[in-house]
Chains A and B, each alone.
Chain A
Amino acid sequence: MDPSEQHDNTDDLERRLRAAFTAKALQISDADLDHDREDEVAAALSSQHRRHPGTRWFAGIGAAAAAAAIVGVTFIGLHGDGQRQVVNGLPPASTTASSSTSPSGATTSSPSSSSGGLVTPLRHPAYQSKGPTTTLPTSGDSTASSAPRSETTTPPEATRTAMSGGSSTMSTPSSSADSSMSIAAHQPPAMPSGLPQSKALDDREYVGAVPLDDPSGGAKRMLSMPSKTSWQRTAESGNSLTVRLTYLPTDIEAYWRQTLPSQGWVADGAGWKYPGTSYAVSPITDKGSFTVTW
């Protein structure tokens, strides 16, 4: 084939590609789109957009407060002797009171899991025929990323709203609330005791969070999973559990990237680990399996 003929063929192929792509793309018109969903997304995007200046304003106050604190610390440093005299003159009770307030966050962390345990049983036709399905909690499953992120300390369930249209891919956590509660515990979220723990698993299909044992023997922990995700146990040892995903309605890796950091997990290569503990999640294999260790 001479160069000019080859050039003509390429031009023709390019023309055919453009025509085919255009024809296929233009099959979708505005009328074909899910307008309820569109409205909700647009509302979520615009409500957050309006909030943005306010957020900046609060950030400005925070920065000013931080600057004032720095000035104060510097002042104390420069006038330390005088300050010590004042402190020495105070009754001892005042210093005791300030130090006793710090641990209070620890006790507020445990309820985070109970909110995650409120999951309706899955009725997905794809595995109705596979025998009994046990529903486990899915921490953060019922959240939607369209919901405006709360700037207050409202409990997570109060900040969560469901995205319409059953689009499971949109489930993401309201991370600001989750992070403040879960990280304080220095443990993954707790698993409600009334649901199957890792030692109670059998070969059935389970839906929702994957249970983790707690090496300290306290409350059982869990690994959050996207809503409606189902899995089966494939192997179990004293300190690990391997599961195979059997139904995955969304990108689990993206879900974990959005959810786990707010609970205190950190990425470890393609997997996850929980700093200061032995909890870890292996990367997902190409067969849809992964292992959790504790």
Chain B
Amino acid sequence: MTADPPVDLAELYRTHHLQMVRLARLLVDDTASAEDVVQEAFLGMHRNRGALRDSRAAVGYLRQAVVNQSRSMLRRRRTVRAHLKVAEPEIAPPADSEVILAEEHQEVLRAVDQLPPRQREVLVLRYWSEMSEAEIADALGISKGTVKSQASRAMATLAKIMQGGETDGSV
């Protein structure tokens, strides 16, 4: 039996940084915040590198860290937006963030933005990261059943929102 090689975080960073920024961008909605999220995720892993023994699972830990950091970022934003009106301009997503996307994609993304954070995470991990229900359950720290129900509710809500959008144009 051979010991697992140590996790090379620098190599993990080199190979997965961009992909993780893209994942974070889908969760937090602006690139600067996404970069903050990913940087914090890597440095968090770095601080806890003593506990990292399985290099094969490192990407999973990283993805989980990115999701958790994104959730923290959104929670922080909500607090700031609710109570600190003065700081809002700095943290609001850029006004032109969707400008160069096709209208069809914008419509879907606007609908996704209306979902609760947990449902949005499930959809992003399922349809962007192409993760299985079991992998999503691991990443979010919830049961497979919860993943399935959250995904189902999210899809139903999306369908309803988008049908409404097609009929009255107000998504």
Contacts and interface: CB of A to CB of B under 8 A. Distances in A.
A13 B7 CA distance: 38
B134 to A, nearest CB: 18
A248 B84 contact: yes
Contact of B10 (A13, A49, A127, A246): A49
Interface of B: 6, 8-10, 13-14, 17-18, 21-23, 25-26, 31, 34-36, 39-40, 42-43, 46-47, 49, 72-73, 75-76, 79-80, 82-84, 86-87, 89-90, 98, 100-102, 104-106, 108-109, 112, 123-124, 127-128, 155, 158-159, 162
A86 interface: no
A123 interface: no
Given A126-B86, A288-B83, A37 B39 contact: yes
B47 A145 contact: yes
A246 B87 CA distance: 9
A5 to B, nearest CB: 12
Contacts of B89: 126
A22 interface: yes
Interface of A: 9-10, 13-14, 16-30, 32-34, 37-38, 41-42, 44-46, 48-49, 52, 126-127, 130, 145-146, 167, 169-170, 172, 244-248, 250-251, 253-254, 258, 286-288
6 contacts: A20-B108, A22-B128, A33-B35, A41-B39, A248-B84, A251-B73
Given A17-B112, A17-B123, A23-B101, A28 B18 contact: yes
A248 B76 contact: yes
A23 B155 contact: no
Nearest to B79: A288
Contact of A169 (B36, B105, B127): B36
A30 B34 CA distance: 13
Given A23-B101, A49-B9, 10 more contacts: A17-B123, A24-B98, A27-B101, A28-B22, A28-B25, A49-B8, A169-B39, A251-B75, A254-B40, A254-B72
Contact of A248 (B31, B39, B49, B80): B80
Given A20-B105, A24-B105, A25-B23, A145 B124 contact: no
Contact of B36 (A30, A38, A167): A167
Given A9-B159, A45-B46, A169-B40, A28 B21 contact: yes
Contact of A45 (B9, B123, B127, B155): B9
A156 B124 CA distance: 41
Contacts of B83: 244-246, 287-288
Contacts of B8: 49
A247 to B, nearest CB: 5
Contact of A28 (B34, B46, B82): B34
B106 to A, nearest CB: 8
Contacts of B35: 33-34, 37, 167
Contacts of A254: 40, 72
Contacts of B40: 169-170, 254
Contacts of A288: 79, 82-84
Nearest to A50: B10
A33 B32 CA distance: 8
Nearest to A258: B47
Centre residue among B9, B22, B39, B127 by max chain A CB count within 10 A: B39
Contacts of B75: 251
Contacts of A23: 101-102, 105
B112 A127 contact: no
A166 B8 CA distance: 27
B168 to A, nearest CB: 19
A239 to B, nearest CB: 26
